[in-house]
């Protein structure tokens, strides 16, 4: 059970006013808000033990290193990775995907095939297109149905011994569709392909188990899971992380450097060149503790309640159409009302203190599929309430009446 009143007290930002109204924050799929305990961890780091890690013998450096590595262990435990060095700390999902896509350059040849889904965020499309340009590999796309679900039989048809890697999102950011990734991973492995799962939208709602899923790579961003921006995780199976070359060269990723030859550090440091976002990583660990304390099962069931409630209420509005009607969805509702431009509704309801995202949500191929310029996207999380949904629905009705 979620004690939402108590939880809301953990988030200082929820007390603020926007344009004279209490903030209603329904843009959680873009970034989630930050509980005080996470903000405090960042303040504590900079106030008390700010130092570079893995290099100093002095006390501050040792304390910072300990907490940074403790955070890695927390992340390993949360995702149930077999080994701590399979957790690479990144600046976010985009960084993790680019690291893998760049690494595959030397592993692909002309005519190899890579498969991506039509539900992806641009950051899980563009790096693979760039990889194709570098290698001559061919990009194949799994199509979607009108409900916004991947068409599994089409995926099966695309797979062959030419397939080298598959990239699929766990959850669609624009529609909320939860993909059957376990089945998708198994099929990719049946043809000997590697598979990367973009978990940016799943990790705020679901606790994925790396060993159970058996994926080769899994990426996510802390800022969608109550953590800070500029931090994320790339999980990679040990055997793949050994195979991939380093992404960036620099300090901390080397074993020995001479002008003749440099040897690389062991995992995970081989992929962590330069000074990382130390406070951010420590705060990421605290954010996961916070979410686990509430419990992902509790979060999912409460969010489902909000999703059902809001869906029902919104559908009572004449002319409103919801995009993405998969049976398995996270608490994301993408919609339009007749021909009204999403931006116009977004702007009006912002005046009433309500934050939603409008536009193509960095998923233009999905918008093209539905032949629309974009949608209004409301995304809920465990600190939102049915009362907020009521205010939101009334605001949408008000905006509709002004615009039509
Ligand atoms: N993949 C998915 C599925 C996403 O939803 C996002 C961000 C990213 C990758 C990129 O994450 P980043 O942390 O590296 O930027 N999605 C959104 C969104 O839906 N609205 O704003 C950002």
pLDDT tens-digit readout, 173-184: 999 999 999 999
- Res. 38: pLDDT tops 90: yes
Is 362 tagged catalytic?
yes
Q: Are 169 and 121 in contact (CB under 8 A)?
A: yes
- Res. 252: pLDDT tops 90: no
Query: What number is the average pLDDT over the span 365-386?
Result: 97
Q: Whose CA is nearest to atom 20 of ligand 1?
A: 30
Letter string b/e over residues 198-212, b meaning 16 or more CB atoms within 10 A of that residue's CB: bbbbbbbbbbbebee
Which of 365, 366, 345 lies closest to 354, judged by CA? 345
Q: Which H, E and C letters describe 40-54, residue by residue?
A: HHHHHHHHHCCCCCC
Q: What is the mean pLDDT of the chain?
A: 97
Does residue 356 have its Cβ closer than 6 Å to ligand 1?
Answer: no
Per the model's pLDDT, the better-predicted residue between 42 and 259 turns out to be 42
Does residue 200 have its Cβ closer than 6 Å to ligand 1?
Answer: yes
pLDDT on residue 266: 92
Which tokens belong to 313? Answer: 């209420």
Distance in angstroms (rounded) separating the CA atoms of residues 113 and 214: 21
pLDDT on residue 185: 98
pLDDT on residue 305: 98
Given pLDDT bands bounded at 50, 70 and 90, which one contains residue 1? confident
- Count CA atoms closer than 13 A to 288's CA, side-chain side: 26
- Res. 251: pLDDT tops 90: no
Which tokens belong to 223? Answer: 């800022």
For residue 113, list its beta bridge partners. Answer: 138, 163
Does residue 221 have its Cβ closer than 6 Å to ligand 1?
Answer: yes
pLDDT on residue 376: 98
User: How does DSSP classify residue 139?
Assistant: E
Given pLDDT bands bounded at 50, 70 and 90, which one contains residue 268? very high
Query: What number is the average pLDDT over the span 181-192?
Result: 98
- Res. 389: pLDDT tops 90: yes
Place of tokens 């209603």: 24
Q: Are 109 and 136 in contact (CB under 8 A)?
A: yes
Spell out the domains of the chain, with CATH numbers in brackets.
4-30+295-403 (3.90.1150.10), 39-292 (3.40.640.10)
Query: What number is the average pLDDT over the span 13-27?
Result: 97
Given pLDDT bands bounded at 50, 70 and 90, which one contains residue 213? very high
Cα 200 to ligand 1 centroid, rounded to whole Å: 6
Atom of ligand 1 nearest to the CA of 232: 13
pLDDT tens-digit readout, 133-149: 999 999 999 999 999 99
pLDDT on residue 353: 98
Query: What number is the average pLDDT over the span 30-54?
Result: 97
Distance in angstroms (rounded) separating the CA atoms of residues 244 and 74: 25
Q: Are 311 and 321 in contact (CB under 8 A)?
A: no
Atom of ligand 1 nearest to the CA of 92: 14
pLDDT on residue 254: 84
Cα 221 to ligand 1 centroid, rounded to whole Å: 8
- Res. 83: pLDDT tops 90: yes
User: How many C-beta atoms surround the C-beta of residue 339 within 10 A?
Assistant: 9
Place of tokens 């969608």: 224
pLDDT on residue 55: 80
pLDDT on residue 143: 97
Share of the chain residues as helix, strand and coil, in percent rounded to the nearest 5: 45, 20, 35
Query: What number is the average pLDDT over the span 34-48?
Result: 98
pLDDT on residue 168: 97
pTM of the model: 0.97
Angle among Cα 387, 390, 396 to the nearest 5 degrees reads 145
Given pLDDT bands bounded at 50, 70 and 90, which one contains residue 253? confident
Does residue 203 have its Cβ closer than 6 Å to ligand 1?
Answer: no
Rg (CA), the chain: 22
Does residue 198 have its Cβ closer than 6 Å to ligand 1?
Answer: yes
Per the model's pLDDT, the better-predicted residue between 261 and 37 turns out to be 37
Cα 31 to ligand 1 centroid, rounded to whole Å: 8
Query: What number is the average pLDDT over the span 219-230?
Result: 98
% residues pLDDT > 90 (the chain): 94
pLDDT on residue 184: 98
């Amino acid at each position: 059970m979620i004690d939402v009143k108590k939880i809301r007290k953990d988030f200082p930002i929820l007390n603020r006013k926007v344009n004279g109204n209490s903030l209603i924050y329904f843009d959680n799929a873009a970034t989630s808000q930050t509980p005080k305990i996470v903000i405090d961890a960042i303040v504590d780091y900079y106030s008390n033990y700010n130092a570079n890690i893995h290099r100093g013998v002095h006390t501050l450096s040792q304390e910072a290193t300990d907490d940074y590595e403790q955070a890695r262990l927390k992340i390993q435990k949360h995702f149930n990775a077999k080994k701590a060095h399979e957790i690479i700390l990144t600046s976010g999902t985009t960084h993790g995907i680019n690291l893998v896509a760049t690494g595959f350059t030397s592993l692909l040849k002309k005519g190899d095939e890579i498969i991506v889904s039509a539900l992806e965020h641009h950051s899980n499309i563009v790096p693979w297109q760039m990889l194709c340009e570098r290698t001559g590999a061919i990009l194949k796309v799994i199509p979607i149905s009108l409900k916004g679900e991947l068409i599994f039989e089409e995926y099966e048809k695309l797979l062959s011994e030419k397939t080298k890697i598959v990239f699929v999102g766990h959850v669609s950011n624009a529609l909320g569709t939860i993909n059957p990734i376990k089945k998708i991973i198994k099929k990719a492995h049946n043809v000997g392909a590697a598979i990367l799962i973009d978990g940016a939208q799943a990790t705020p709602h679901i606790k994925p188990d790396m060993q159970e899923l058996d994926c080769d790579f899994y990426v996510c961003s802390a800022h969608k899971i109550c953590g800070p921006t500029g931090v994320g995780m790339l999980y990679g199976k040990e055997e793949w992380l050994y195979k991939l070359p380093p992404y960036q060269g620099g300090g901390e990723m080397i074993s020995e450097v001479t002008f003749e030859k440099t040897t690389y550090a062991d995992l995970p440091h081989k992929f962590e060149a330069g000074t990382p976002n130390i406070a951010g990583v420590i705060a990421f660990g605290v954010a996961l503790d916070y979410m686990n304390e509430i419990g992902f099962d509790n979060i999912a069931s409460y969010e489902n309640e909000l999703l059902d409630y809001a869906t029902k209420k919104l559908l009572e509005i004449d002319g409103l159409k919801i995009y993405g009607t998969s049976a398995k969805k996270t608490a994301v509702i993408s919609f339009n009302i007749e021909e009204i431009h999403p931006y116009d509704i977004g702007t009006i309801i912002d005046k009433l203190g309500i934050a939603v995202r409008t536009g193509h949500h960095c998923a233009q191929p999905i918008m093209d599929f539905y032949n629309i310029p974009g949608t209004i996207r409301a995304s809920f999380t465990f600190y939102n309430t049915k009362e907020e949904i009521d205010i939101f629905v009334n605001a949408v009705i008000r905006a509709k009446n002004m615009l039509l």
